[in-house]
Every structure is written in structure tokens, then in C-alpha cells.
Amino acid sequence: MATAAACAMIILTGPIWWVVILVGIFWFAAAAFFRDPLFRKPATNDSTDLVSPADGVVSAVLTVDHHPATNGPATIVRIFLSVLDVHINRMPCAATVVSMTHTPGRYLDARSAESAQVNESNLIVVKTRDGDLLGVRQISGAIARRIVCPISIGDSFDRGQRFGMIKFGSTTELIVPTRSTMTVRIAKGDRVVGGVTILVALPPQSTNP
């Protein structure tokens, strides 16, 4: 005990005390960034309610006439993740992976609208149990330069299950087929929680008129 106390005093009063403090700060920052909250549960029990694939703030909700993920009209919910957010990505629903497309690109600030169009990205297309095609797109940022997605075509996931992450500030998109019966439950500026917050209610195709 006395020896340990003496060593601690030498470190804290010697010329390298600031190194120890810096190492401690970096360690706590890394631990906070890579944190993986346990026991998250979707806000509803309805399997047609799609949960957020990431923690962060909704930066855009838009529609496009055609998207490769849905092979038709699509609604995109874009989520910005700051360096302070949890960066684990989660599946929006129970689904099976049907394709993955990695696209090299730039590393613009993830807060800019242009970054979603030109930055490096990874598009994961999944098929739901109702036969719908959905997309989750991981997009790099100025600081985030490593997309982690250790999954394969044919892998099946439950709603809210982890499938990857993007290291440091970045963007994640949920891409769903646009329908008259769907309900978008969030808006630009809303804060969402991955695996918990409901982004879109997407009824099965059989309910369409």
C-alpha cells in the first residue's frame, strides 16, 4: 500500500503527471464513444413500426421518385450522429439482408446536406417478413472514416438488433417505400434513440388499396 502511494505521488508530482491525466481523458472519451447501451426495447410492440437505426438528431425527412433500396419511390429519414452520440447501428425491423453496396467517396462534414450525396457510404438492403424492401445507409463524415458492418447477405436480424457502427461523427439513413398508408412519426430536428424511437409506421403491402 505504501509503495503504491509513493508511486502515485511521484507520478502526480513529477514532470509526467500531465501525461497520465491526458491518457485518462482519452481513455474515458474512447469508452464513452464506444458505449453500447444494453436492454433497449422498441417503444411499441407493433412489428410494422420501424425503429430508429441510430441515435442522433433527424436532419432531414424527404421523398425521392426512385431509390435503389426500394426499387421505387422512397421516403428517407436522415439522422445526424455527433461525436457524443452512441454510434451503434440497429435494424429498424425483423429482416434478412439481401444486398450490401459500399460506395467510396469524400469525407465532408456530416452536418452538410451535400455529405449525404458524395461521402463514402454503405447501403444495406433488407427484406422484411412482409416482403418489403428497406434500406439502411451508413454515411461517413469528416471525422468518421471507418464504416463497420460485419454482416453478410442472408443474415437475419430482429427489430432493434445491432448490425454495425460508424466511428465518430456521421450520418445514418432509413429508406422505406413511400405509401399512402404509411405514417412518418418524427420530424426534422427531433432527437431519436436507436432501437427505441419509432420513425415510420409501415403497414404490410396487403393493406394497400
Which is catalytic among the residues 47, 170, 180, 206?
Answer: 170
Largest distance between two CA atoms of the chain: 79
Q: Catalytic: 82?
A: no
Alpha-helix residue ranges (DSSP H) falling in 78-200: 115-118
Q: Using CA atoms, how far apart are residues 165 and 90, in angstroms rounded to an integer?
A: 9
Q: What are the distances in angstroms from CA 26 to CA 21, 29, 32, 33, 86?
A: 9, 5, 10, 10, 17
Residues with catalytic function: 170
